[in-house]
């Protein structure tokens, strides 16, 4: 320990700061290079991409977009469907997971430990294992080829529940809940007025994760949605990539992938402000 302290003291602060910045810039560029390649390819035509990669943008961005919009796939319907599914699933997963975490954390009842263990056990079951039974269920309920099976099941989100429960145990003092009960507030109002503002940073993070996960989900929508106007963007992108060689156009594929990424980035930028603001406004000082 003393040797490490001597080494750290021997390196000037400015040098350590420069090294840290160099490492951060390197990893940032490493993460962004793939987005740069995606944007470059979205400006190139299919014929140009067959010749190899070039770091210089081309002039076919508008042509690729117009070919995509006026193609056979309903792109704008895909955007709308993805927004509905991702937004609805993110809100339901965050809100009801927070409500479940509050019930497990704030109430004492018989079977509390078993209920918590069961929720965590469900988290270990892959989606592919339950896919066949899920499809049979929605077929009996006549919900096949609709967006409802992609939104409503998001209420049961074990991973989101686990994260919010851990955050709640560390940041929610039960004295505030007891004070609200003494003042005559019912449990629903206590949860919405006291608990949710404290949980805002954690819920903002889970909103982002749930939105991105649902936006990029391909497996379940591909099994449920059959009509083109009801399909989400990942299904349409896969359908565009699977076109025959006469209609296969890499320029359209890249411009569609690039367009599908921007809403996710916008949602992250919006929610990141709530994360920073929620940490300062929702924190409780003991």
CATH number for the domain harbouring residue 257: 1.10.3720.10
**What's the helix, strand, coil split of the chain in %, to 5?**
75, 0, 25
133 and 201 in a single domain? The answer is: yes
158 and 260 in a single domain? The answer is: yes
Lowest mean pLDDT among 47-61, 85-99, 210-224: 47-61
Residues 71-128 pLDDT 10s: 788 889 999 999 999 999 999 999 999 998 888 888 888 888 888 888 888 888 887 7
125 in a structural domain = yes
Average confidence score pLDDT of the chain: 83
Distance CA 112, CA 110 (A): 6
Q: Decide if pLDDT at 278 tops 50.
A: no
Lowest mean pLDDT among 3-17, 242-256, 264-278: 3-17
242 and 113 in a single domain? The answer is: yes
60 in a structural domain = no
Assigned token pair, 161: 């529940």
Residues 228-241 pLDDT 10s: 899 999 999 888 87
Tell me, what's the pLDDT at 284?
44
DSSP per residue over 250-286, as a string? Answer: HHHHHHHHHHHHHHHHHHHHHHHHHHHHHHHHH----
Q: Which residue has better confidence, 52 or 30?
A: 30
Neighbours of 55 (CB within 10 A): 7
Lowest mean pLDDT among 32-46, 143-157, 236-250: 236-250
59 in a structural domain = no
Mean pLDDT of 46-65: 85
162 in a structural domain = yes
Distance CA 283, CA 171 (A): 7
38 and 75 in a single domain? The answer is: no
Neighbours of 263 (CB within 10 A): 18
158 and 19 in a single domain? The answer is: no
Q: Decide if pLDDT at 245 tops 80.
A: no
159 and 278 in a single domain? The answer is: yes
Q: Decide if pLDDT at 283 tops 60.
A: no
Distance CA 235, CA 223 (A): 10
Distance CA 65, CA 71 (A): 10
pTM score over 0.75: yes
229 in a structural domain = yes
> How sure is the predictor about 10, in pLDDT bands with cuts at 50, 70 and 90?
low
Mean pLDDT of 6-34: 81
15 and 76 in a single domain? The answer is: no
155 and 262 in a single domain? The answer is: yes
How far out from the chain centre does Cα 185 lie? 34
197 and 277 in a single domain? The answer is: yes
Q: Decide if pLDDT at 243 tops 80.
A: no
Residue 30, SS3 per DSSP:
helix
Residues 122-158 pLDDT 10s: 888 887 788 888 888 899 999 899 999 999 988 888 8
251 in a structural domain = yes
Mean pLDDT of 53-58: 84
DSSP per residue over 67-98, as a string? Answer: HHHTSSS-HHHHHHHHHHHHHHHHHHHHHHHH
Distance CA 176, CA 284 (A): 10
Distance CA 62, CA 139 (A): 42
Tell me, what's the pLDDT at 279?
47
Report the number of secondary-structure helices (H) and strands (E) in the chain. Answer: 16, 0
Q: Could you give the C-alpha distances from 125 to 58, 67, 129, 255, in angstroms and in order? A: 46, 42, 7, 35
Assigned token pair, 28: 């940032």
96 and 131 in a single domain? The answer is: yes
55 in a structural domain = no
155 in a structural domain = yes
How far out from the chain centre does Cα 263 lie? 11
Angular region, 142: left φ>0, alpha ψ -120 to 50, beta rest: left
Percent of the chain surpassing pLDDT 70 = 90
Assigned token pair, 153: 């099941």
Q: Decide if pLDDT at 246 tops 70.
A: no
Name the domain count of the chain: 2
35 and 74 in a single domain? The answer is: no
If 0-12 CB within 10 Å is exposed, 13-18 middle and 19+ buried, where does residue 196 land?
middle
Range of the domain at 248: 68-282
Neighbours of 91 (CB within 10 A): 16
Residues 141-200 pLDDT 10s: 998 999 999 999 888 888 888 888 888 888 888 888 888 888 888 888 888 888 888 888
231 and 123 in a single domain? The answer is: yes
If 0-12 CB within 10 Å is exposed, 13-18 middle and 19+ buried, where does residue 200 land?
middle
> How sure is the predictor about 275, in pLDDT bands with cuts at 50, 70 and 90?
low
């Amino acid at each position: 320990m003393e040797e490490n302290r001597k080494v750290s003291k021997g390196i000037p602060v400015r040098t350590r700061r420069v090294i840290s910045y160099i490492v951060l810039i390197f990893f940032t560029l490493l993460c962004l290079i793939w987005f740069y390649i995606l944007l470059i390819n979205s400006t190139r035509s299919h014929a140009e991409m067959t010749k190899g990669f070039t770091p210089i943008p081309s002039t076919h961005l508008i042509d690729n977009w117009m070919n995509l919009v006026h193609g056979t796939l309903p792109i704008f319907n895909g955007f709308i469907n993805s927004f509905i599914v991702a937004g609805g699933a993110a809100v339901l997963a965050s809100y009801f997971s927070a409500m479940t975490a509050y019930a497990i954390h704030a109430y004492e009842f018989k079977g509390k430990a078993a209920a918590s263990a069961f929720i965590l056990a469900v988290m270990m079951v892959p989606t592919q294992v339950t896919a066949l039974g899920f499809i049979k269920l929605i077929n009996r309920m006549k919900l096949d080829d609709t967006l409802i099976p992609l939104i409503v099941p998001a209420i049961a989100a074990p991973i989101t529940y686990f994260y919010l429960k851990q955050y709640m145990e560390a940041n929610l003092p039960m004295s505030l809940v007891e004070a609200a009960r003494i003042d005559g507030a019912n449990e629903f109002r206590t949860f919405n007025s006291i608990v949710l503002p404290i949980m805002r940073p954690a819920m903002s993070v889970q909103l982002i994760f749930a939105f991105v996960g649902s936006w990029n989900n391909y497996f379940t929508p591909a099994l449920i949605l059959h009509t083109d106007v009801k399909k989400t963007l990942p299904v349409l992108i896969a359908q565009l990539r699977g076109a025959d060689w006469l209609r296969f156009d890499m320029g359209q594929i890249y411009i569609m992938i690039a367009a599908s990424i921007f809403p996710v980035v916008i949602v992250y930028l919006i929610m990141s402000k709530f994360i920073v603001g929620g940490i300062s406004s929702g924190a409780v000082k003991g």
